[in-house]
């Protein structure tokens, strides 16, 4: 597809015509996570998913990142609602932080509704709860001017759905996260006839999950992971802990059954697992779960009669598994001869954190069991043979790749073309893709987009001043110079220098700071009197001077901050 110069819509109002559908991803395309997709038709907007991603070293001091939604804020009166395809954090986790900017209705299946309600109650209180609307999976419903249906799919969470958006131009099939699992354990397999019928009912475009588009073969069934978990637990001689994604209700059920088969009592450690358990039971799942042993009674049981279900499969520092590995959990302990089963995949970017936890466990001679040894995990996203299967059923004329980094999107587009799909446009975050019945898909512009970091009670641009300065301090250290000067420019006392993350008392000569203060004094005295009366000139000279001093003495150029106190004439 020929790329033209993009029109910059920014945060302006943007109305789609009656003869088109506009697809505008604000998150989730060009990355994995932070899914937030906008569909415009006939003057109105529909938002699909409202997710977060998790921060890394590029955004120090925060844990959660959301999409920049200034475009939606500018068009809020045109938004009919938000629809959630399922309840993973990267699809609904932004609700506690962003919903009160838009305050539009949120539509979700029973399990996703329960998960969203608990999060919104914690953050927005009762005010937000009436905005949540529970809809039945597989049944038609309306959101403003949009006719919709949540189509049941299979994934690593209960009630994962595709969204069928029916418009006068044709249907949009937004797959959400999915896989073709013949034995999903807590739900039915995908109904092929339903997908085939949607494909035959004037389908305009399929917008599809690209996560595993580079992987050949099939993703594997949850039943396979259940069998592997059963075998792994049976092989453990002492206490066993299983850590997994807290939202994988089917995997929890498999862990409970593995515990029962080996005569073990179940203990649960971690707030998020307990929250998911409560939501799952509210939605009608895990009705036969065992009675859990209280955390403070676990150590009273024989070591070979305990199975612990723990949060922390991704190495999260505050999760139960991290505290157990460090020996800092208040009521649960593991020791030599015990086992930890990682029934999960390490998300890219979390490798170091997971390895840190595993090394702490290994240091204490605790056995680690992972997917590489026995099949205790399967992915939740479609591999190439499943994507081909979907194209064969639905016969789309347009495939729009989503949910993946650029390499995944391009692999998905290439695979679709090889299967005979005529059009495979790639629109990354912020771009406006125009879909019509008679014309080729075209990227027609770009809206304001980006990332906001959740910093306490505020949302900050991840590329803005605060995070730039934090990164500079993190990598270079900080030198703060305090000057007391008269209005006329005379120094009233010696400069005082404080450093953070720059000097090491065990390595560096303590006289360096004294020398730095003398160096600052000398350069200030060389300034003309009129320059010393100007705070900006003084700060500029001090920043330049101190960077040169520390570069010459310790080989570093720290962040320099200057405070000037003016005290009379």
What is the pLDDT averaged over residues 352-377? 93
pTM over 0.85: yes
The pLDDT value recorded for residue 194 is 98
Is the pLDDT reported for residue 129 higher than 80? Answer: no
What is the pLDDT averaged over residues 29-41? 96
465-566 maps to CATH 2.60.120.650: no
Which two structure tokens, joined as six digits, stand for 136? Answer: 């039945």
- In 185-264, DSSP assigns E strands to 203-209, 240-243
DSSP 66: E
Name the strands in the sheet holding 367-369, side by side, starting at the edge strand that comes first in the sequence: 265-269, 306-310, 240-243, 339-342, 367-369
Please provide the CATH number assigned to the domain covering 7-217+379-456.
3.60.15.10
Is the pLDDT reported for residue 3 higher than 60? Answer: no
Q: Across all residues in the chain, what is the average pLDDT?
A: 93
pLDDT in tens, 50-61: 999 987 767 777
- Residue 406 makes CB contacts below 8 A (sequence gap 6+) with 30, 426, 428
Domain layout of the chain by residue ranges: 7-217+379-456, 222-369, 465-566
Is the pLDDT reported for residue 175 higher than 70? Answer: yes
DSSP 219: -
C-alpha 20/C-alpha 22 separation (Å) is 6
What is the pLDDT averaged over residues 197-204? 96
222-369 is classed in which CATH architecture?
Answer: 3-Layer(aba) Sandwich (3.40)
pLDDT in tens, 69-115: 999 999 999 999 999 999 999 999 999 999 999 999 999 999 999 99
Is the pLDDT reported for residue 1 higher than 50? Answer: no
pLDDT in tens, 224-258: 999 999 999 999 999 999 999 999 999 999 999 99
Question: What would you report as the CA-atom Rg of the chain, rounded to the nearest whole angstrom?
Answer: 28
The pLDDT value recorded for residue 474 is 80
DSSP per residue over 350-406, as a string?
-HHHHHHHHHHHHHTT-EEE-TTTS-----SS--HHHHHHHHHHH--SBEEEESB-H
423: helix, coil or strand? strand
The pLDDT value recorded for residue 552 is 93
């Amino acid at each position: 597809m020929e790329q033209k110069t993009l029109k910059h819509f920014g945060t302006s109002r943007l109305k789609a015509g009656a003869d088109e559908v506009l697809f505008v991803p604000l998150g989730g395309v060009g990355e994995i996570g932070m899914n937030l997709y906008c569909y415009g038709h006939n003057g109105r907007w529909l938002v699909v998913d409202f997710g977060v991603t998790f921060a890394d070293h590029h955004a120090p001091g925060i844990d959660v990142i959301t999409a920049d939604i200034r475009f939606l804020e500018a068009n809020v009166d045109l938004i009919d609602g938000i629809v959630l395809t399922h309840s993973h954090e990267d699809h609904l986790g932004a609700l506690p932080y962003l919903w009160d900017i838009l305050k539009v209705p949120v539509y979700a299946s029973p399990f996703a509704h329960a998960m969203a309600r608990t999060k919104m109650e914690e953050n927005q209180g009762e005010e937000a709860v009436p905005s949540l609307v529970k809809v039945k999976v597989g049944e038609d419903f309306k959101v403003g001017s949009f006719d919709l249906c949540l189509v049941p799919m299979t994934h690593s969470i209960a009630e994962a759905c595709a969204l069928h958006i029916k418009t006068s131009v044709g249907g949009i099939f937004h797959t959400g996260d999915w896989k073709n699992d013949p034995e999903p354990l807590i739900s039915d397999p995908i109904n092929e006839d339903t997908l085939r019928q949607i494909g035959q009912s004037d389908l305009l475009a399929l917008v599809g999950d690209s996560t595993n588009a580079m992987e050949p073969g099939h993703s594997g069934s949850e039943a396979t992971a259940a069998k592997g978990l059963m075998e792994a637990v049976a092989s453990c001689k002492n206490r066993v802990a299983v850590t997994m994604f807290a939202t994988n209700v089917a995997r929890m059920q498999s862990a409970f059954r593995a515990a029962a088969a080996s005569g073990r009592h179940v203990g649960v450690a971690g707030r998020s697992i307990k929250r998911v358990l409560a939501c799952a039971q509210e939605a009608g799942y895990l009705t036969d779960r065992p009675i859990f042993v209280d955390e403070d009674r676990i150590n009273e049981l024989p070591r070979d009669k305990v199975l612990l279900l723990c949060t922390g499969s991704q190495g999260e520092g505050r999760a139960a598994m991290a505290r157990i590995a460090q020996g800092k959990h208040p009521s649960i302990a593991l020791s030599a001869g015990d086992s930890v089963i990682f029934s999960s995949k390490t998300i890219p970017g979390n490798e170091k954190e997971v390895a840190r936890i595993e090394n702490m466990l290994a240091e204490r001679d605790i056995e680690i069991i992972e997917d590489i040894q026995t099949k205790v995990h399967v992915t939740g996203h479609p591999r190439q043979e499943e994507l081909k299967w979907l194209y064969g059923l639905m016969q789309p004329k347009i495939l729009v790749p989503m949910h993946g980094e650029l390499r995944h999107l391009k692999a998905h587009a290439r695979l679709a073309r090889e299967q005979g799909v005529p059009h495979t446009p790639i629109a990354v975050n912020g771009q406006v893709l125009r879909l019509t019945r008679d014309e080729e898909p075209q990227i027609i512009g770009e809206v304001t987009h980006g990332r906001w970091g959740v910093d306490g009670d505020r949302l900050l641009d991840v590329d803005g001043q605060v995070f730039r300065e934090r990164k500079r301090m993190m990598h270079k250290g900080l030198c703060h110079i305090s000057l007391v000067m008269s209005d006329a420019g005379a120094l009233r006392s010696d400069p005082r220098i404080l450093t953070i993350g720059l000097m090491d008392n065990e390595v560096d000569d303590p006289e360096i700071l004294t020398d730095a203060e003398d160096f600052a004094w000398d350069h200030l005295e060389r300034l003309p009197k009129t320059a010393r009366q100007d705070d900006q000139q003084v700060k500029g000279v001090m920043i330049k001077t101190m960077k040169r001093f520390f570069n010459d003495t310790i080989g570093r150029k720290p962040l320099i901050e200057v405070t000037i106190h003016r005290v009379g004439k």
